[in-house]
Amino acid sequence: MDNKDLFIIDNFIDDREFRNYVSSVLSNRGFKKISIDDVTLSDEDAINNNDMKAELNGVTYTIQTFLNTTITQKEIDEVEADMDYENVSYAILVTNTNVDKDIKQYAENIGIEIWDREIFL
């Protein structure tokens, strides 16, 4: 990890810039058909406006990005709801913050992979 890497992950201007960065990370990891949903939904909707989809080896993933957010069970539950809404079996939650070990375990138990700050370094 160098200062440039830290500067990038700590200084995104907004959610859209973060999603674009995550899109490039997904592409570098072999994901295809990457799409970004920039639709803003009301707070009453169960689905986030930080939604992406991508395919890896023929499997569709929903990807939820959380910029500068402390990840709790609430965010995990939002991703799980998006999995149901998108009718997919695989999800990745991406954040530029560190995620607590217990939260990671909770997510893993329901089939959600977490890419936190460490993935970018």
Tens digit of each residue's pLDDT (9 = 90 or more) over 25-46: 999 999 999 888 755 444 444 4
Residue 47: per-residue pLDDT: 45
Strand, coil or helix: 100: coil
Could you tell me the residue ranges of all domains in the chain? Answer: 3-120
Q: Strands (DSSP E) along 1-121, which ranges?
A: 32-37, 51-56, 59-66, 90-95, 112-115
Inter-helix orientation angle 73-86/101-109, to 10°? 20
Cα dihedral 89, 23, 15, 93, rounded to 10, equals: 30
Paired with 36 in beta bridges are 52
pTM of this prediction? 0.84
Q: Among 45-59, 62-76, 88-102, which is the least confidently predicted range? A: 45-59
| CATH architecture of the domain with residue range 3-120 | 3-Layer(aba) Sandwich (3.40)
